[in-house]
Structure 1
């Protein structure tokens, strides 16, 4: 969705509303966002952030990378992951979305909102099986070409069922698979509630929520998002 004006001008309009109507800034920003077709400002800013960073993210990923896309709810991490898949499809790569969180209909709708041309949406594969785990992903991507991009939604839910291996074992297996196959695996990840943006504007590896032990050194890149800002970092 194209904005009526650059983001800095929209923020200026919000500040004018604050002075004119004597309302808090967050309410003014949400009002501007609704005028632009978004439910709230965080959705507008996360969409713009995803569009901006995605232009460079794919080019900065190497075959076999393990990437974390992490942020608090509503900060655009799923949008970022789906945009990465669209960019991969645009580059004629195989692109797969494994989700334990969304239905296929929900995922298609989200992807469609990002694909303004509607030419790439159908080329993305969406997998919603309850059996999604490291073994399932490895079997599904067996034979995929180097540079294939897969997004897993999301890290912390992979071992929610007791029948599945421990999360640490699954990430280790996926790391080995990525290195051998050249498939790029991106994991959408939650951030711990203890993250305080008043102390640091963006979360980092210390803030990844880990209900179960995982060696985060297996990931070599991470993208952190908060309040319309995003940064892609090399971890190792």
Structure 2
């Protein structure tokens, strides 16, 4: 049975519960475990999956990969991307988040919700909200990034918003070549088309990506789709 949140997030919930209700931490941990379907915290730890979804997915990624994370709003695609960033930083690699949707405070709050303080990673996390975000801007900004750096673009469709930017297909091809040349992992958060119906299939797929303009989706190497707390990983080829 999948957990409702990563173990470190559940542990943080237990600490807050212990503080708010003035009960011992072990009692709070057991109460959280009970909500997850386990009679004791020790049983939750013993029976949890060996690797959390983000850790499992990160283990599949290799430098040069283009990755697509897709879900309908509110189903965890941004959190999954940030969990991948944490996995990269745990490995000693840098992570950079490009977005026009969030403020830096928003993202730091998301990290805190995961029980993560990015200050502990000694400057390995970067954040960019420039209005100039495009394939060319990202390549210029990341030109000196060391191999293994994880780049998150929030979101795929924003590259297609400005008329003075190259066509989306041209930009993704350029970023694919750039990722392979520099040994970077580039992760695109993506919107899902409104036509996707979860009652007909449990996960959106590559054919459900919202595309205002043509894009060869086989340019991506791996995908991660989320729906109602469940995760599906796939290799595109």
Same fold (TM over 0.5): yes
RMSD: 2.1
Counterpart Cα distance in 2 of 1:70 and 1:217: 15
Instruction: Confirm whether residue 9 of structure 1 aligns to residue 41 of structure 2.
Output: no
5 Å matches for 1:83-162? 83-116=83-116, 119-120=120-121, 123-162=124-163
Counterpart Cα distance in 2 of 1:147 and 1:55: 15
Instruction: Confirm whether residue 194 of structure 1 aligns to residue 206 of structure 2.
Output: no
5 Å matches for 1:163-182? 163-182=164-183
TM-aligned CA deviation for residue 6 of structure 1: 6.0
TM-aligned CA deviation for residue 212 of structure 1: 1.2
**8 A contact 1:202–1:226 mirrored in 2:** yes
Q: Structure 2: give runs of 5+ residues left out of the alignment.
A: 1-8, 14-31, 39-48
Q: Give the number of equivalent residue pairs.
A: 198
What is the aligned partner in structure 2 of residue 235 from structure 1? 236
Relative distance call for 1:130 and 1:114 in structure 2 (3 A) is same
Residue by residue over 1:99-144, the C-alpha shift from the partner in whole angstroms, topping out at 9 and shown as x without a partner, is 1111112112212222445523853101111111000100111121
Instruction: Confirm whether residue 211 of structure 1 aligns to residue 204 of structure 2.
Output: no
Relative distance call for 1:234 and 1:103 in structure 2 (3 A) is same
Relative distance call for 1:163 and 1:72 in structure 2 (3 A) is same
Counterpart Cα distance in 2 of 1:123 and 1:144: 11
Helix, strand or coil at the partner of 1:158: helix
What is the aligned partner in structure 1 of residue 44 from structure 2? none
Relative distance call for 1:152 and 1:7 in structure 2 (3 A) is farther
Relative distance call for 1:222 and 1:121 in structure 2 (3 A) is farther
Relative distance call for 1:88 and 1:7 in structure 2 (3 A) is farther
What is the aligned partner in structure 1 of residue 4 from structure 2? none
Counterpart Cα distance in 1 of 2:103 and 2:116: 21
Helix, strand or coil at the partner of 2:190: strand
